[in-house]
């Protein structure tokens, strides 16, 4: 409704206390509360949602359509649609995005690299409102 795209459902969970060593490929939606050492990629060309919670740590490349981070990522992040950085997000690596929403408190140690469709297109940047 009103031009918003419907998000894919979160069908998979990597729970707190779970540690995965190796690459993870997923479709639709994935929530990570545990630890991943390896690349975390959504199936290409398919709408995807990835949530990395406050308790999660990912050591490797992250690549999905809509990415929401409130935990720690040690590696590059690619969000082909929207990247949302919650207040406790900590990224060490370059960040590539089409649209970016960053809350106060989130940190990035790396370059911000916008994806632009055309030469004159500018990426969408949105400042999150401070909750009072």
Query: What is the rounded distance in angstroms from the CA atom of residue 66 to the CA atom of residue 62?
Result: 11
pLDDT (tens digit, 9 = 90+) per residue, 65-114? 999 999 999 999 999 999 999 999 999 999 999 999 999 999 999 999 99
Compute the average pLDDT of residues 122-127: 59
DSSP state of 79: E
CA torsion, ordered 4, 128, 44, 27, to nearest 10 deg: -80
Domain layout of the chain by residue ranges: 10-114
């Amino acid at each position: 409704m009103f031009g918003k795209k419907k998000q894919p459902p979160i069908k998979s969970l990597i729970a707190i206390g779970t540690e995965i060593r190796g690459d993870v490929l997923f479709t639709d939606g994935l929530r990570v509360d545990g630890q991943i050492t390896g690349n975390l990629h959504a199936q290409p060309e398919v709408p995807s949602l990835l949530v990395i919670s406050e308790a999660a740590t990912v050591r490797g490349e992250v690549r999905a359509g809509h990415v929401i981070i409130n935990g720690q990522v040690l590696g590059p992040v690619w969000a082909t649609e929207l990247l949302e950085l919650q207040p406790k997000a900590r990224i060490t690596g370059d960040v590539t995005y089409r649209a970016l929403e960053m809350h106060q408190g989130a940190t990035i140690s790396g370059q911000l690299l916008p994806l632009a469709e055309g030469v004159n297109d500018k990426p969408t940047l949105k400042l999150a409102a401070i909750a009072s």
